Each structure stands twice: as C-alpha cells, then as structure tokens.
A and B are shown apart, each in its own frame.
Chain A
Amino acid sequence: MRATADFIIESGAEGSASLVLTGPLLVSSLGVIDRRLRALEGPFAAIDLSRAGRIDTVGAWTAWSISRRFEAPIIGASPEAERLIAAIRAADDNTAPIAHPQLPILLRVPEHVGIVMTGLGQGMVLVLGFLGQIVLASGVLLRHPRRFRLRALVHQMELMGVNALAIIGLMSFLVGIVIAQQGAVQLRQFGAEIYTVNLVGRLSLRELGILMTAIMVAGRSGSAFAAQLGTMKLTEEIDAMRTIGVSPIEALVIPRLLATMLMMPLLGIYSAVIGIIGGAALSALTLGIPFFTFLARIQEVVPVHDVWVGLIKGPVFGLIVATAGCYQGLQVRSNAEEVGTRTTAAVVMAIFMVIVLDAFFAVFFSEVGWG
C-alpha cells in the first residue's frame, strides 16, 4: 500500500491559517489530493512543509504553485525540499501555459473543408508534376541506357509479380467458381446453362482477371511502395541519394513503375486463365460439362479481342497503382503517422482510379466495336 499525501489547515494566532502538507510529496502520492488542493480558498499565511515526508519535483512544484497562488511563504522545508523548490523556481519563467487558439466549430468545419478541397486541387497538380518528372527521367534513361537499373527492375518484378502468383491464383480460382455457379443458376431458368462458358470466359479475360489483379497489386505492392519510400524519406535516405547525385526517381520510382507495368498484364492473363479453370472445374462437377469440353468451348465463344482488351488495360492499371504508391510515399514529410495515412491514400487512390478508368475502357472498347 502506497502512502498518500494529505493536507490540514491549521488556524494560528490572530485568525491567520496555515496550510500544512503531510505525508510523502511524490508523483505517486500527489495525484489524489491535487484536485482538493486546487479547490482550496485562501488566504493562508504560510505553507508548512515541516510534516511532509520525502519530496520530489512534483511535490516541489505543488508546494511552489500553491505558495504562488496564495502569495504565502513556504516554511519548514527540509534542505532537500529547499533545493528542489529553488530549481523549479529558477526553471519556471512565469509565463502562462500556451493555449492553442481554436476557432468555434461553425468556422472550423468550413475551414477544414476548404483545406481539404484546396489540398485535392494541389494534389492533382502535384501528381501531374510527378508524372512529368517520371517522363523526364525516362528521357534521360533512354539517352543513357547504361544508367538503367536492371537488377532493381528484376528484383521488383519478383517482389510484386512472382511472389503474388499464389494469392492471385487462389483468389481467381475462387472467383471463377463463384461466377460459374451463380451464372449457371440464372441461366438454368432459360435452359441456357451452356452459356456459363461464355460468361466465365469473356468476363475473366475482359474484366475480372485484370481488375481483381489490379486491386490485389494495389493492396500488396502499391501500399508497400508507399510505406517503403515514405520510411526512406523519414530516415533521410532519399535526401542522401540526391546529394550523392542519384536521382530517386531514376533509382527507386522507375524500376517499380516499370516492374508493375510489365508484370500487370502477365498477372492479369494468369488470373483470367486460373479463373477459367475454376469455372471449368465447377462446371465439370455440377453442370455435367466435361472439363476439356469447357476449355474447347472457350476457344469458340471468346473472341480474341477480349484477350487484347485485358492486355491493353494491364500496363495502364499498373502505371496507376505504381504511380499512386510512389507518389504518396515521396510526399511523406514529418512523422510515422504520415507513413500510415499516405499508404492508405495510395491504396484508395489506386483502386478508385483503376475502377474509374475501367468504366471508361468498357465504354471505349464497345464504341470501337470490340464489344
């Protein structure tokens, strides 16, 4: 059981009262009486520490702030207490604590909205500027191809492409099964179960393969790019690179960007193929369409331009995901929390842009006759 501090008010001669602090005056014991001390009303002739036990700076601060509040001298202090109080008095500059000015809520909310909106506007300009930097750096690399970092590119391709095969494969297989199963249930009403093949084949190759891959890569690699570059920014690694004469865009951004743009169409096709296998497996089990008949039928019903649609979207989605990740990472300025918010922003921005662009692509390809 911890000893607690306390106080008593003793009235002395001719009606003057003195405040007597008792017990240990320590950080561990003062918390309980602090509120009561603050509620006290003076005046007191003196603050008596003669019955106090051990004292630390919190005790000294408390005694001194009471003595200042009531303009009463401290009496009976032990040499140790004297020393601590003197140190506190010397350190305190008697300025009032600095309060943060805060606007009333009616002004604060519009102000916040305004800051967010201007931030969005500036963000657009900054992203464009970032793309410009990438184009310039690519130009430099084209003129000096020996400065291109092939090892970094291959390493990134492995990290974001090869290492993602298992998870993307599993996800696509399951999505293929779900589409085949749901499609079959609906098509059965018209006796058109055989069209499950068209549904699974065209949807996987045109839309779902690449879209699911882009979302997975944004979550897996876009976030990693943002967190990695953001941390490098905090630890001044990126500043160090600049001073050595290595362009961070050249050394960090372009390998990631290129790796994502190269791997995305491959992962998209891979995802589509696995999705079709998933659909075929389900059809073989529940619809009575043999596995290889399903695959042969795919060749007949899926026009080859569906493959092109998927392949064309791949690098574009890759560009979006990698740009969002690298851009947000390089925007980190001050602290660890910002790495978190920037990573979130990178993933949200990437997925949002991918879905918006996917809608544009859908309209565009049907207009050019690749419906």
Chain B
Amino acid sequence: MSEEGLLTACADAPPSGSEADLFPIRVRGLKNAFGPHVVHENLDLDVRRGEILGVVGGSGTGKSVLMRAIIGLQIPEEGTIEVLGSPITDARDDDDIDIRCRWGILFQGGALFSTLTVAENVEVPLREFYPEISDELRHEIARYKVLLSGLPAEATSKYPSELSGGMKKRAGLARALALDPELLFLDEPTAGLDPIGAAGFDQLIRSLQQTLGLTVFLITHDLDTLYEICDRVAVLADKRVIAVGTIPELIATDHPWITSYFTGPRGRAAKSAAERNGALGTSGDQA
C-alpha cells in the first residue's frame, strides 16, 4: 500500500535536541472550567523526555481533567498544550498528520472494547494506522505485546468481561503499547490492585519504560508507586501545579499539603519500604 493511501499518517519525530524533543509535553497557562466551576487556572507543566512523572493531588483537583486536556479529550478555555512538538489545542480530529500514533493511554478501568478479544483490542490501533501490515504480523505483534504486559498467552483470545480487574489493566497497557509509543499516559494504574499485583505492575511499568525508552505521565494516589518508580512528582493544588521535583525536594518545600501527603503515616510507610528496596536513592540521583 502506498504512503499516500493511508488515511492518517503518523507524525514524524521532532529533531533531536530541540525543545519539543527535550520536553515531550509542555503546558502553558492552562485554564479548564466546567461552567462556573474552574478546575485549573494558569497551570504550567513540563514533562522531560525519558522520565516517569507522577501527578498527585487531592480528590477533585483535576488530575484526570489535566490528562484529558493533554490528550485532547477536554477542550481548555485558555492556554496552550504542546505534545511532541504539536499543539493539541488547535488539533482537529481530521488532521492529516496525527500524533496519536506516538502516544499510548491506559484509562482507569482499562477502557477495553468489550466486543473484541484482548488480542483484537491490541490490533485496533495497528489496523488504524498501519493497514499495510499483514494479518500474520499483526497477530504476532498483538501476541507478544500481550505477553510483554505480563498476561499469559491464553488471555489473548479472552473477552474483557472474562478478565479480572488486574488483567484488564494489563490488557489496557498492551493496547497502549501497541504502536511502540514514545509517550505513555497512565491514569491510576495500580488503583484497585492487591499490593503484590500493584508492586508487580509498578515493576512492569519501570522495566518497560527503561526497555522501550518511554516518557510516562502517571496519575496516582499510590505512595508506593511514587516512591518506587517516579523520577519526579508534580503536585496539583489550588487549581495549578504548585511544585514539581523529586520527593525529597517536594518535602523540603514545606507546603502543608505536600508535607502531610508525604510524611503522614502512609507516606512514612511507603518511604521506609522504598528505602529498603533502594529505589529512593536512584530516583533522587537521576533528577
């Protein structure tokens, strides 16, 4: 199939060393509002290439809204959002060049297509962007992505309703990774998983991020996830990002919410667990 025959062409990577290459996500002066209820105002955020950025904030501070705005599902009132060098705020569904082939998104509940099997779910983005790929190769790709996400091979032919919550998340991750994206958005990946499953999922994200060289935007409430795998953490409060940095840097800011978040009983437990695993030192060194 010719290049011109494709409905949606994948956008090219920005030149290396450029601003867009160093910061795959740049948000400036963002304002989101639902009617009179303002969620974000004057919000700035930069995500560095190759890092795992954790986004935290109290319930209702608009973590998911921020992610939806960055991936173009929520139209902001004001401000600009650039993802991989392309402005999201002016992007339209029928644009010829698409950056959607260069990101992968894991929604909270997995958001798998309920009428398709796990393997077919993974094949959807492949079909959409690369129709020239043969059925055989597409099946193979779907299969190894499912295996990479830590699911057994039998899961490929199962329907989402036959999977447990944790398996749905892994299947959702396999679909998010279908196109070998550079950017991965994760909305509360460990919520609803048992502690062992959550720790396993954290390790999976970390190892995939290192192997595939991903930049990860991760919304979470899970302090263990923050301590174990996040390079930096952005704190949402007062309708904007009040601080970004490593956890020790954040604690040093002395903001009351941040201090109580990280040094409360749960924060302390997660910290000592991370110290035992030696994760905190490495993430601190990288930043």
Residues of A that sit less than 8 Å from B by CB: 1-2, 26-28, 30-32, 34-35, 38, 56-58, 61-62, 65, 80, 83-84, 87-88, 91-93, 95, 97-98, 100, 333-337
Contacts and interface: CB of A to CB of B under 8 A. Distances in A.
A88 B137 contact: no
Interface of B: 1, 3, 9-10, 12, 101, 114-115, 126, 129-130, 132-134, 136-137, 139-141, 143-145, 147-148, 153-154, 156-157, 159-161, 177, 179-180, 207, 211-213
B180 A91 contact: no
A340 to B, nearest CB: 9
A208 to B, nearest CB: 40
Given A92-B147, A93-B153, A87 B115 contact: no
A27 B144 contact: no
A10 to B, nearest CB: 24
A322 B213 CA distance: 56
B148 A88 contact: yes
Q: Which 7 A-B pairs have the closest CB atoms?
A: A335-B114, A31-B133, A31-B132, A56-B180, A334-B161, A91-B147, A337-B115
A32 B115 contact: no
A305 B272 CA distance: 85
Nearest to B147: A91
Nearest to A62: B137
A35 B134 contact: yes
A319 to B, nearest CB: 32
Contacts of B148: 57, 87-88, 91
Given A58-B141, A62-B137, A335-B115, 19 more contacts: A27-B126, A27-B141, A27-B179, A31-B1, A34-B133, A34-B134, A34-B136, A38-B136, A61-B141, A83-B211, A87-B211, A91-B147, A92-B144, A93-B153, A97-B156, A100-B157, A334-B159, A336-B114, A337-B114
Nearest to A336: B114
Nearest to A94: B153
20 contacts: A27-B126, A28-B101, A28-B129, A30-B137, A31-B1, A31-B132, A34-B134, A38-B136, A57-B148, A57-B177, A61-B144, A87-B148, A88-B148, A91-B147, A95-B153, A97-B143, A97-B153, A98-B154, A337-B114, A337-B115
Nearest to A37: B137
Contacts of A56: 180, 212
Contacts of A98: 153-154, 156-157
A93 B129 CA distance: 28
